[in-house]
Amino acid sequence: MEHQLTLRLSADLSERLDLAAKRLARKRSDVVRLALEQFLSAQVETRPIEQVRDLLGRVESGLPDLGQRHREYLIKRVRDGR
C-alpha cells in the first residue's frame, strides 16, 4: 500500500467493525478498504430522489387543492371511517 489513513471511530462503530472483521475472517483494515471501495464505486453524485424516481407515480384524486389541504382531507376520512 502506498498511502496510510488514520481515523477515529466511535465505540459503537469500532465494535461493529470488529464484528464484521470477525464474521468475514479479515483484518479490520481490509473491511474498511472494502467498504470504502464499495461506497466510492456507488453513484454518490446523484440525489436520493434519483434512486427512487422510477418508483414514483402520479395519482389523480379529483381534488384540485389536495396538496394544500391534505391534512383536512385526511382528518375528514378518518372521522367518516373511510
So what's the pLDDT on residue 59?
67
Would 37 be classed as within a structural domain? yes
So what's the pLDDT on residue 44?
61
**Domain of 37, in residue numbers:** 9-48
Would 70 be classed as within a structural domain? no
Number of domains within the chain: 1
So what's the pLDDT on residue 9?
95
Would 79 be classed as within a structural domain? no
Q: Profile the chain (82 residues) by mean pLDDT over runs of 10 residues.
A: 91 97 96 92 73 74 83 88 71
Would 78 be classed as within a structural domain? no
Q: Which of 39, 43, 18, 16 is nearest to 28 (CA)?
A: 18
So what's the pLDDT on residue 24?
96
Whole-model pTM: value is: 0.52
Q: Is the four-CA dihedral 23, 24, 30, 35 of positive or negative sign? A: negative
Residue with cell 470488529: 18
